[in-house]
Structure 1
Amino acid sequence: MHLETAYIPNGTGDRKRWGKITTTSLACAIADNFLKSQEKNESSFWLIVAPNTSDAYRLYSELPFFMPEHAEQISLFPDWEILPYDSFSPHEDIISERLSTLSKLPTQKEGILIVAMTTLCHKLSPSSFISANSLELAVGDIVEPESLRHKFSKAGYRNVDNVYEHGEFAIRGSILDVFPMGMNTPVRLEFFDNEIETLRLFDPESQRSGETLQEIKLLPGREFPLTDSSIRTFKAQWLEEFGKPPSPCQIYDDIDNGLVPGGIEYYIPLFFDETSSLIDYIPEHSKVVMPVNFNELLNQFYKDTEKRYDDYNIDRRRPLLPPSKILLREHELNEQIADFPAAQFTQDEIEEKAGRINFSTSAQSKLEVNYKAAQPWQALLDFVTPRIQSGFKVVLMSESPGRREFLNEKLRPIFKKRNIGEIKVLDGWPDVQTADYTIAIMVGPLVHGLSLDQ
């Protein structure tokens, strides 16, 4: 579904508006226009701001369907999946994915980044933090295993007996195991004296070594540093913000001792003289896509956070930073986005004029199978028959190969009896566009149906 150039935001501060948008049609349009840029050898980077976390994950699952050969260029900056001021921290896998995404953005020229609105408005560590606190190790390097223990701990990694999760490391004699942030598999370092002799991926369950590596890059174990200087910065800013801490004061005491207390993520600004936002990480030539009610959603989330702040800021031993310290306000985010070309989308139909267009798509109503009825598939038949008679093609989508075969087996004789046509099995979106068929079935991730007028 290609958008004409007139409706693609271009140039400093350019604004477009898209109507009749669903999550699926948005994914389809962004993918198509990204691929058109690839054909022209143009660098294209899109930041898609989803209204909420569930829509962000849905876009992340649907976009690769429309651009399978470029799936590796689609990334998600995940939400912490905790509420503001919770006293526990996000799962290590989430932190790993966030750090991995942030580490790639400064050098990324093209791609698609998806983020939920509530995630976008959080203040982050400075863009220089990750590169300055990463550690590169290679076969042949001379380094004492015990010195790595100290470096890993200062980088936020946890010393354990056996490595199973991101951000863990273990030392046993001449072997050091570590699960680096941003990697999908832990790594085993084998030493000969103080020389790294081998680097291998390994299975944490079986402990069996696998692929050999020549070098690895270890991202920080957290989104903040635990160096001596950063601890001093934290303590100084704590005193400035809250005054002298009572005794005991777990957050302050743990950081003073180099430990990581639960919920520390909402104290990240205290580790830095200045913070950044996700906008600071993306390329200057980026295009931004965001909901029409962006400001309304921002203000509502800020009000919700203020309410949680008032409700939870009651313990002197765990004082909370006010929302203004951890979140960007509406005007602050709008100032950062102002110079980027941007498109605002809505599900509603809009008045079409210069720079404003309604998508030629529509969401499909729910087609239920009623096994108690004489013809359980009647709703589907009522939907498919008139469209095929009008010259449309119809593609049925299932969530798995097994489900596809079940539907194919059930529907083939019914469609044949109704003269609807022979069901063709498709492999992917390219087949949808180019294959010869009247009705087809395939496996795909689309949650909601999509009707294309062209």
Structure 2
Amino acid sequence: MKLNLKTLTNKINSLKFDTINLDKLNEFIWPFLTANTNKTLVLVVSNNTQIDSLAKQIEYINPKAKILKFPAWDCQAYDMTNPSLDIQALRVNAIKSLEQNTKDKFIIITTNRALITKTINTADLLADITLEKDKEFSRDELTNKLLEHGFKRVENVYQSLEFAFRGDILDVMPNGSEHGYRIEFFDDEVESIHLLDIKSQRRTQEVKQAVISQENELLLNDTTVDTFTSKYLKLFPEGITDTIFAEIKQKKFVNNRFHFLSLFYNNKLKSLFEYLPEKFAILYYDNLDSNLENFYSELELSYNARSQFLADFES
């Protein structure tokens, strides 16, 4: 079945659940958390702030609950901003967990906007970079893989998606992680791996392995840029002179590049519905119909405003 905005909305509306207020969480959700069922639960709230609040309440009720957060992008459609790295990490982690652990029962907390906004197809996620103590890994190959994964080479690592080589020492900060890694080499052999405290720039606990995964929805590498340029010119044959086309071709981090997400991949984007197991139940905590209508209205207003801006700019 083709899943577009209308289909997704109808799918939600066909599930006849009453609206439930957040303050009734304990008395209503408790049976679902403790019942002997194989159903995954999808809890739909109004905004990203409520996701965190609800997750804390569920963790208090059921500490063993497997909670996945799937927030909406923290930027407006057609805006000149991109979703934050933290938001992307949560979204990618959710779809990977659902695909890799099909027998687990999850509690997925999302928003109405996130539910109908498509994300990356897991088929387009790059393979993990795994480094192990006492094993060899070419530093040149490692550098190329980190760049391919969207990392930026810097002198000192202070934030996500940065790495720094200083002699035989590599500092790297994966996206979506609470800590970085400090990896010491002897030639191409990994001598030691420690967790890295970014604030103090000091290494902490020693570990045997460092796994660096793709935790963002869009990478600018040779493959994605080539796909973008090809698809963009098919849609806009005269677009070779467009600023966004030229900047992305040079792998520059254009502010609104995420709104062209589907042009960067050959595989079709997927909605959260397409990662859910066969058995799941949706519960929502606000007026879903009116929230979706408001979202569609905002999309139209944003589109018209951006169109008018471009028309005025060109004139």
Give the TM-score normalised by structure 2. 0.84
Distance 1:266 1:28, change over 3 A: farther
In the alignment, the residues of structure 2 paired with residue 88 and residue 292 of structure 1 have an alpha-carbon distance, to the nearest angstrom, of 27
Structure 1 residue identity aligned to 2:234: E
Alignment of 1:260-409 (within 5 A): 260-273=253-266, 274-290=268-284, 293-313=287-307, 314-315=309-310
Report the alpha carbon displacement of residue 259 of structure 1 after superposing the two structures with TM. Answer: 2.9
Match of 1:161 among 155, 158, 162: 155
Residue 194 of structure 1 aligns with which residue? 188
Does 2:242 align with 1:242? no
Residue 10 of structure 2 aligns with which residue? none
Residue 91 of structure 1 aligns with which residue? 84
**Which piece of structure 1 moves more, 75-84 or 266-275?**
75-84
In the alignment, the residues of structure 2 paired with residue 169 and residue 310 of structure 1 have an alpha-carbon distance, to the nearest angstrom, of 41
Residue 105 of structure 2 aligns with which residue? 110
In the alignment, the residues of structure 2 paired with residue 51 and residue 231 of structure 1 have an alpha-carbon distance, to the nearest angstrom, of 34
**Kept after mapping to 2: 8 A contact 1:174/1:193:** yes
Deviations 1:185-227 (A, max 9, x none): 1111111110122221011122221112222322225312333
Residue 150 of structure 1 aligns with which residue? 144
Structure 2 residue identity aligned to 1:92: L
In the alignment, the residues of structure 1 paired with residue 16 and residue 242 of structure 2 have an alpha-carbon distance, to the nearest angstrom, of 54
Report the alpha carbon displacement of residue 120 of structure 1 after superposing the two structures with TM. Answer: 1.6
Report the alpha carbon displacement of residue 154 of structure 1 after superposing the two structures with TM. Answer: 1.4
Deviations 1:349-375 (A, max 9, x none): xxxxxxxxxxxxxxxxxxxxxxxxxxx
Distance 1:169 1:240, change over 3 A: same
Does 2:46 align with 1:46? no
* SS of corresponding position for 1:136: strand
Residue 3 of structure 2 aligns with which residue? none
Residue 177 of structure 2 aligns with which residue? 183
In the alignment, the residues of structure 2 paired with residue 106 and residue 221 of structure 1 have an alpha-carbon distance, to the nearest angstrom, of 15
Structure 1 residues without counterparts, runs of 5 or longer = 1-12, 320-454
In the alignment, the residues of structure 1 paired with residue 26 and residue 250 of structure 2 have an alpha-carbon distance, to the nearest angstrom, of 47
Structure 1 residue identity aligned to 2:149: A
Distance 1:104 1:27, change over 3 A: farther
Residue 425 of structure 1 aligns with which residue? none
Seq. identity, %: 26
Alignment of 1:223-238 (within 5 A): 223-238=217-232
Distance 1:188 1:112, change over 3 A: same
- Based on CA coordinates, which of the two structures has the bigger radius of gyration? 1
In the alignment, the residues of structure 2 paired with residue 88 and residue 198 of structure 1 have an alpha-carbon distance, to the nearest angstrom, of 39
**Kept after mapping to 2: 8 A contact 1:177/1:188:** yes
Deviations 1:319-346 (A, max 9, x none): 9xxxxxxxxxxxxxxxxxxxxxxxxxxx
Does 2:79 align with 1:80? no
Structure 2 residue identity aligned to 1:51: S
Report the alpha carbon displacement of residue 97 of structure 1 after superposing the two structures with TM. Answer: 2.7
Does 2:217 align with 1:218? no
Report the alpha carbon displacement of residue 110 of structure 1 after superposing the two structures with TM. Answer: 1.3
In the alignment, the residues of structure 1 paired with residue 48 and residue 197 of structure 2 have an alpha-carbon distance, to the nearest angstrom, of 31
Structure 2 residue identity aligned to 1:58: S
Distance 1:269 1:315, change over 3 A: same
Structure 1 residue identity aligned to 2:259: Y
In the alignment, the residues of structure 2 paired with residue 29 and residue 139 of structure 1 have an alpha-carbon distance, to the nearest angstrom, of 49
**Which piece of structure 1 moves more, 185-194 or 147-156?**
147-156
Distance 1:137 1:312, change over 3 A: same
**Kept after mapping to 1: 8 A contact 2:113/2:295:** yes
Report the alpha carbon displacement of residue 235 of structure 1 after superposing the two structures with TM. Answer: 0.6
In the alignment, the residues of structure 1 paired with residue 67 and residue 215 of structure 2 have an alpha-carbon distance, to the nearest angstrom, of 23
Aligned residue pair count: 297
* SS of corresponding position for 1:269: helix
Match of 1:60 among 55, 58, 64: 55
Structure 2 residue identity aligned to 1:63: I
* SS of corresponding position for 1:80: coil
Distance 1:31 1:170, change over 3 A: farther
Does 2:27 align with 1:33? no
Report the alpha carbon displacement of residue 246 of structure 1 after superposing the two structures with TM. Answer: 5.4
Report the alpha carbon displacement of residue 252 of structure 1 after superposing the two structures with TM. Answer: 1.8
Structure 2 residues without counterparts, runs of 5 or longer = 1-12
**Kept after mapping to 2: 8 A contact 1:44/1:286:** yes
* SS of corresponding position for 2:174: coil
In the alignment, the residues of structure 2 paired with residue 169 and residue 66 of structure 1 have an alpha-carbon distance, to the nearest angstrom, of 39
In the alignment, the residues of structure 2 paired with residue 281 and residue 168 of structure 1 have an alpha-carbon distance, to the nearest angstrom, of 30
**Which piece of structure 1 moves more, 271-280 or 100-109?**
100-109
Report the alpha carbon displacement of residue 126 of structure 1 after superposing the two structures with TM. Answer: 0.7
